[in-house]
Amino acid sequence: MSDPHDAAEFQKHVKKYLFVFYALIVGTVATVAASWAHIDSVALTVTIALFIACVKGFLVAGYFMHLMSEKKMIYGILIATAFFFAGLMYLTVLSMQPSSLIHMK
Amino acid sequence: MDIPYVTTPREDTGLFNAKLGIWLFLASEVMLFGALFSSYILLRVGAAPGAWPHGLLNIPLGMTNTIVLICSSITVVMAWASLKMKNFAHFKVYQAITLLCALTFVGIKSYEYHDKFTHYEIQLKDGKVVDGHILETKEDEYVVHGRYVDPEEQAKVTHAWQERAIPESEISVKKADVKYMENYGPWHSTYMAIYFTLTGLHALHVIGGALVIGFLWGPGSGMWKTDPERYTNRIEVSGLFWHFVDLVWIFLFPVLYLL
Amino acid sequence: MSTQAISHALPHAGADDAHHGELSFWHKYVFSTDHKVIGIQYGITALLFLQFGFFLMMMMRWSIAYPGKPLPIMGHVLERVLGDVAAGGVISPALYNSFGAMHGTIMVFLGIVPLAFAAFGNFVVPLQIGAPDMAFPRINMASYQAYVVGGTIMLVSFFIPGGAAQAGWTSYSPLATSLNTNGQTFWIIAMVFLITSSLLGAVNFLATIIQLRAPGMTWMRLPFFVWSQFVTGFLLLLAFPPLEAAAIMQLMDKVAHTSFFLPTGLSINGGAHISGGGSPLLWQHLFWFLGHPEVYVLILPAMGIVCEIIANNTRKPIWGYKSLVYSALTIGFLSFIVWAHHMYMTGMGTKISTFFQTTTMIISIPSVIILTCLFLSLWGGSIRFNTPMLFSLAFLPMFGIGGLTGLPLGFNFSDLHLHDTYYVIAHFHYVVAPGTIFALFAGVYYWFPKMTGRMMSEFWGKVHFVGSLIFMNAIFQPMFAQGMAGMLRRMADGGANYSAASVPGAIGGLSPMIMHFNQTISIAAWCLGLAQIPFIINFFWSIKHGKPAGSDNPWHSTTLEWQTPTPPPHGNFTKPLIVHRGPYEYSVPGRDKDFTPQNEA
Domain that residue B164 falls in: 119-183
| Residues B172, B46 share a domain | no
Q: What is the mean pLDDT of residues B112-126?
A: 91
Query: What pLDDT score was predicted for residue A98?
Result: 65
Cβ atoms of C477 and C571 closer than 8 Å: no
* Cis peptide bond upstream of C174, omega within 30: yes
Alpha-carbon span B122 to B129, nearest angstrom = 6
| Residues B110, B124 share a domain | no
Query: What pLDDT score was predicted for residue C37?
Result: 94
Residue B60 lies in a domain: yes
Nearest beta carbon to residue A24 from set B16, B70, B81: B70
Residue B61 lies in a domain: yes
Q: Which of the four pLDDT bands, split at 50, 70 and 90, describes residue B32?
A: very high
Q: What is the mean pLDDT of residues C306-311?
A: 97
Chain B residues 15-54 within an 8 A CB cutoff of chain C: 15, 17-18, 20-21, 24-25, 27-29, 31-36, 38-39, 42-43, 46-48, 51
The number of angstroms, rounded, from the C-alpha of B258 to the middle of its chain's C-alpha atoms is: 14
Look at A81 and C238 and tell me if their CB atoms are within 8 Å.
yes
Whether the predicted pLDDT of C519 surpasses 70: yes
Cβ atoms of C366 and C398 closer than 8 Å: no
Nearest beta carbon to residue C275 from set B4, B20, B187: B187
How close does chain C come to A76, measured CA to CA in Å? 12
How close does chain A come to B151, measured CA to CA in Å? 21
Residue B11 lies in a domain: no
Q: Which of A40, A42, A60 to mutate: most B Cβ within 10 Å?
A: A60
Residue B3 lies in a domain: no
| Residues B249, B167 share a domain | no
Query: What pLDDT score was predicted for residue B259?
Result: 84
Look at B47 and C277 and tell me if their CB atoms are within 8 Å.
yes
| Residues B110, B71 share a domain | yes
| Residues B150, B79 share a domain | no
- Looking at the 3D structure of chain B, how many domains does it have? 2
Determine how many CB atoms are found less than 10 A away from the CB of residue C408.
Answer: 15
Whether the predicted pLDDT of C6 surpasses 50: no
Contacts of C263 in chain A (CB under 8 A): none
Q: Which of the four pLDDT bands, split at 50, 70 and 90, describes residue C19?
A: very low
Look at B63 and A85 and tell me if their CB atoms are within 8 Å.
no
Of B183, B214, B239, the residue at which a domain comes to its end is: B183
The number of angstroms, rounded, from the C-alpha of A10 to the middle of its chain's C-alpha atoms is: 25
Q: B13: nearest CA in chain C?
A: C211
Residue B238 lies in a domain: yes
Contacts of B179 in chain C (CB under 8 A): none
For residue C231, is it left (φ>0), alpha (ψ between -120 and 50) or beta?
A: alpha
| Residues B100, B226 share a domain | yes
Look at A17 and B161 and tell me if their CB atoms are within 8 Å.
no
How close does chain B come to C277, measured CA to CA in Å? 6
How close does chain A come to C241, measured CA to CA in Å? 11
Residue B4 lies in a domain: no
Alpha-carbon span B71 to B66, nearest angstrom = 9
| Residues B224, B207 share a domain | yes
Look at B67 and A28 and tell me if their CB atoms are within 8 Å.
yes
Look at C259 and B47 and tell me if their CB atoms are within 8 Å.
no
Query: What pLDDT score was predicted for residue B95?
Result: 96
Query: What pLDDT score was predicted for residue C99?
Result: 96
How close does chain A come to B23, measured CA to CA in Å? 7
User: pLDDT digits over C207-248, tens only?
Assistant: 999 999 999 999 999 999 999 999 999 999 999 999 999 999
* CATH number assigned to the domain comprising residue B171: 2.30.30.100
What is the complex's ipTM, to 2 decimals? 0.93
Contacts of B188 in chain C (CB under 8 A): 275
| Residues B166, B93 share a domain | no
* HEC assignment per residue over chain B: CCCCCCCCCCCCCCCCHHHHHHHHHHHHHHHHHHHHHHHHHHHHHCCCCCCCCCCCCCHHHHHHHHHHHHHHHHHHHHHHHHHHCCCHHHHHHHHHHHHHHHHHHHHHHHHHHHHHHCEEEEEECCCCEEEEEEEEECCCEEEEEEEEECHHHHHCCCCHHHHHCCCCEEEEEEHHHEEEEEECCCCCCHHHHHHHHHHHHHHHHHHHHHHHHHHHHCHHHHHHHHCHHHHHHHHHHHHHHHHHHHHHHHHHHHHHHHC
* CATH number assigned to the domain comprising residue B58: 1.20.120.80
Q: What is the mean pLDDT of residues C259-281?
A: 84
Whether the predicted pLDDT of C174 surpasses 60: yes
Contacts of A88 in chain C (CB under 8 A): 242, 285, 289, 336
| Residues B196, B77 share a domain | yes
Cβ atoms of B185 and C256 closer than 8 Å: yes
Output the CA angle B136-B142-B143, nearest 5 degrees.
60
How close does chain C come to B123, measured CA to CA in Å? 13
| Residues B214, B110 share a domain | yes
Residue B10 lies in a domain: no
Q: Which residues of C480-549 form beta strands (DSSP E)?
A: 547-548
| Residues B94, B24 share a domain | yes
Q: Which of B5, B23, B69 to mutate: most A Cβ within 10 Å?
A: B23
Look at B15 and C211 and tell me if their CB atoms are within 8 Å.
yes
Q: What is the mean pLDDT of residues A68-78?
A: 86
Query: What pLDDT score was predicted for residue C205?
Result: 97
* Cis peptide bond upstream of B4, omega within 30: no
Contacts of B236 in chain A (CB under 8 A): 1
Residue B253 lies in a domain: yes
User: pLDDT digits over C501-516, tens only?
Assistant: 777 666 667 888 889 9
Alpha-carbon span C120 to B25, nearest angstrom = 22
Percentage of chain C with pLDDT > 90? Answer: 79
User: pLDDT digits over C381-425, tens only?
Assistant: 999 999 999 999 999 999 999 999 999 999 999 999 999 999 999
